């Protein structure tokens, strides 16, 4: 008997279709085997696909697959999956929990459709890499990094997934980035990070805090349009470096160089007991909704999503 499964493509961190970051969403994945999930993710071709299953520890379990491998967490795919569940009235406005490979996380759905994901407590440390090596990997002259690097050092920041955070002086310099993906991959391996996030405070929109670009060749993603996990990590990094002069949620713009502009809301405010895990938020739009015929599993045992 042919097995079909409902699949969606959902654009996260945008209110416009064909913008933001597209994620695959499989709303009913509890009985899918790993190789079936991998095949679906490869067929959909989004940078990540979220598979929604049941959980004994949370309201839902989410697993994430790129076209090449499983990853522990994906911010934009989480926003996409929860927004999809909300659109179908399967989750109400308010706070819910999702089980992931990095632990159980809180998600909040607001009345306007904004989905907030509370990430893991931040881990931030400086790394021993040279400005010349990083500049070469990005196709930039070293002064593009050194002019801002005196105040904001290159660092490894994680709120669930680790990223190499690279401050860049000006928007013109960030726009000129032409990454050597092999060199970026080597940098990420050396610093134990999943990707590189370069940013500048020089923005296109006046209300935006920064403009970012994210490169994750280790996950098979040359450049990611709009990156939720990295945005939370960078927000925590900026708070750690005392580089923020506001307690209001931040606005990170990204994706314009891929013609998929989007914005991530980042909340790094401290709670009553001090530093807390950051939250990232945004809206999402479903652009494709249909059924996909899936192959039979070659695995003996099905591991629930």
Do 4 and 292 contact (CB within 8 A), yes or no? Answer: yes
What residue has token string 């005392």?
242
Task: Note whether 66 and 73 are within 8 A (CB).
Answer: no
3-state DSSP helix/strand/coil percent for the chain, to nearest 5? 25, 35, 40
C-beta of residue 262 within 8 angstroms of C-beta of residue 14: yes
Could you give the CA distance from residue 71 to residue 294 in angstroms, rounded to a whole number?
A: 21
Contacts of 77 (CB under 8 A, 6+ apart): 12, 23, 24, 25, 46, 48, 49, 50, 62, 64
**Three-class DSSP category at 158:** strand
- Torsion angle in degrees (nearest 10) through CA of 49, 87, 62, 13: 60
- Residue 48 among the catalytic residues: yes
Helix axes 75-87, 228-240, angle to 10 degrees: 120
DSSP 200-246: ES--SSTT-SEEEEEEEGGGTEEEESS-HHHHHHHHHHHHHTT----
Catalytic residue chosen out of the listed positions 16, 28, 48, 299: 48
Which DSSP state fits 35? H
Give the count of alpha carbons within 13 A of 278, CB side only: 33
The catalytic residues are 48
């Amino acid at each position: 008997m042919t097995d079909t499964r409902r699949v969606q493509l959902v654009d996260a961190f945008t209110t416009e279709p064909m913008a933001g970051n597209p994620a695959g969403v499989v709303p009913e994945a509890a009985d899918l085997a790993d190789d079936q999930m991998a095949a679906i993710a490869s067929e959909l071709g989004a940078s990540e696909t979220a598979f929604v299953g049941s959980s004994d520890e949370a309201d839902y379990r989410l697993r994430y697959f790129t076209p090449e491998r499983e990853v522990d967490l994906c911010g934009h795919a989480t926003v996409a999956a929860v927004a999809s569940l909300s659109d179908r009235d399967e989750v109400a406005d308010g706070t819910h929990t999702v089980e992931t490979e990095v632990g159980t996380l809180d998600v909040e759905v607001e009345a306007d459709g904004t989905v907030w994901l509370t990430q893991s407590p931040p881990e931030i440390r400086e790394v021993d890499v040279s400005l010349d090596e990083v500049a070469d990997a990005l196709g930039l002259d070293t002064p593009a990094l050194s002019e801002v690097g005196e105040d904001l050092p290159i660092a490894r920041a994680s709120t669930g997934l680790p990223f190499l955070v690279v401050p860049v002086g000006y928007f013109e310099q960030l726009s000129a980035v032409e990454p050597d993906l092999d060199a970026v991959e080597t940098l990420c391996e050396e610093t134990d990070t999943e990707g590189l996030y370069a940013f500048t405070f020089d923005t296109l929109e006046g209300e935006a805090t920064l403009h970012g670009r994210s490169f994750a060749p280790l996950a098979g993603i040359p450049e990611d349009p709009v990156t939720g996990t990295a945005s939370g990590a960078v927000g925590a990094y900026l708070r750690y470096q005392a580089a923020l002069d506001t307690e209001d949620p931040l606005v990170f713009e990204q994706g314009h160089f891929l013609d998929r502009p989007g914005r991530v809301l980042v909340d790094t405010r401290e709670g009553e007991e001090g530093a807390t895990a950051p939250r990232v938020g945004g809206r999402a739009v479903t652009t494709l909704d249909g059924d996909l015929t899936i192959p039979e599993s070659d695995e003996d045992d099905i591991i629930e999503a």
